[in-house]
Amino acid sequence: MQIHTAYLAAALASLLAVYFYVRADRMRRDLESRDRQIERLRLTLDLSEDVGRFGYWQLDTGADHVIWSDFVFAVHGRPKSAGYPGLAEAIAYYHPEDRQMVEDAVSHALHGGEDFEFSARILAESDQEVLVLSRGTCQFGRNGEILGIFGCLVDLTKQTQRTQRSPAA
């Protein structure tokens, strides 16, 4: 009887090992598939940013920096190696005449939950003035607390230059 019980225990352990191996292999393949999907989405976003001349940014209430996409770094002329800027540093890129408007928009969003949209000028590190459209939308937690702002930044410079060069209709 003991041999029979030991045999059953060994068989059960073998079955469990096979089951968990198959399950782990399936999970690994699912993760690899999701990784490929994420990479495709990332490439699509990168291409869209480049063609559409837009990028995204994110400010979390507890963070001491603003997360920028590659395109937002490029618009500012800031090398990625410099890292994400703090909020004050990010606002300092705006033209002095536009900074107060930007500060007010961000403050109203962080303290009042108000979304915003504005056009302003950025002074890139290359000393080039870049006209941008920035739109920010508040992100809220389950209890209605403001978690941060997610936004997009569109480079309007080329579009504005084309409009100025085209003859009036």
* Chain segment 76-103, per-residue pLDDT in tens: 999 999 999 999 999 999 999 999 999 9
Measured from the Cβ of residue 111, the count of other Cβ atoms closer than 10 Å reads 10
107 and 43 co-located in one domain: no
23 and 87 co-located in one domain: no
75 and 142 co-located in one domain: yes
Higher-confidence position of 17 and 108: 108
14 and 89 co-located in one domain: no
76 and 144 co-located in one domain: yes
118 and 146 co-located in one domain: yes
Q: Which domain holds residue 135?
A: 53-165
63 and 85 co-located in one domain: yes
66 and 139 co-located in one domain: yes
23 and 45 co-located in one domain: yes
Residue 1 scores a pLDDT above 60 = no
Please give the tally of structural domains in the chain: 2
Question: Per residue in 24-63, is it b (16+ CB within 10 Å) or e — as a string?
Answer: eeeeeeeeeeeeeeeeeeeeeeeeebeeebbbbbbbeeee
pTM of the model: 0.72
